[in-house]
Amino acid sequence: MNMQKTPSLILASSSITRRALLDRLNFPYQIDKPDIDERVLDGENAATACLRLARQKAQIVALRHPRSVVIGSDQLVECASQIIGKPHTAERASAQLRMMSGKTVLFHVAVAVIHADGAVHTTAEIVTVQMRALRDTEIQHYIQHELPLDSAGSMKSEGLGITLLESMHSDDPTAIMGLPLIATARLLRAAGINPLG
């Protein structure tokens, strides 16, 4: 009888939110932080940059874990044709949220899964968000309580960030949090990992 062993799974991320999302699939995995330069290249649009960064994260971690399946993911925010990354400081978070207040914002999310044989498969999602018109006091309260300094566009929708939104349109409710689980599960099944057995 030819019993094929299910390959081990690695998440190329140190994001607590992505870990919590992947935990929902109830499949064992390891964490390995990719440590890449996440700057957007000159002339690169948000969708292209997001896919490139997700692929790059997965590829650098896959080099350290041959014959494993590796998930890389990235998220970039776009508002008024401007790409918005992680704020890193409370001052920048405040400026980002003031700029996005009352506007339509696109959340680009990409996933790359590297199979045990080295094949790379990617997918991308766009979440369209209508932001509420935000008062400065609301912005400051949100930043103080959520500390969204490592979140693209200062958005932590898994917490108080959801109260900043007027509406959200997406094919996957988990996409805005940085790891679209519907697409991720599909890519994992193609890589030989099925959380349902």
Q: Which residues are catalytic?
A: 74
What DSSP assignment string belongs to 78-138?
EETTEEE----SHHHHHHHHHHHTTSEEEEEEEEEEE-TTS-EEEEEEEEEEEE----HHH
Q: Which residue has the tokens 């494993």?
A: 68
Burial of residue 39 (CB within 10 Å: 0-12, 13-18, 19+) is exposed
The DSSP symbol for 163 reads G
Measuring CA to CA, which residue among 4, 3, 19, 9 is closest to residue 179?
A: 19
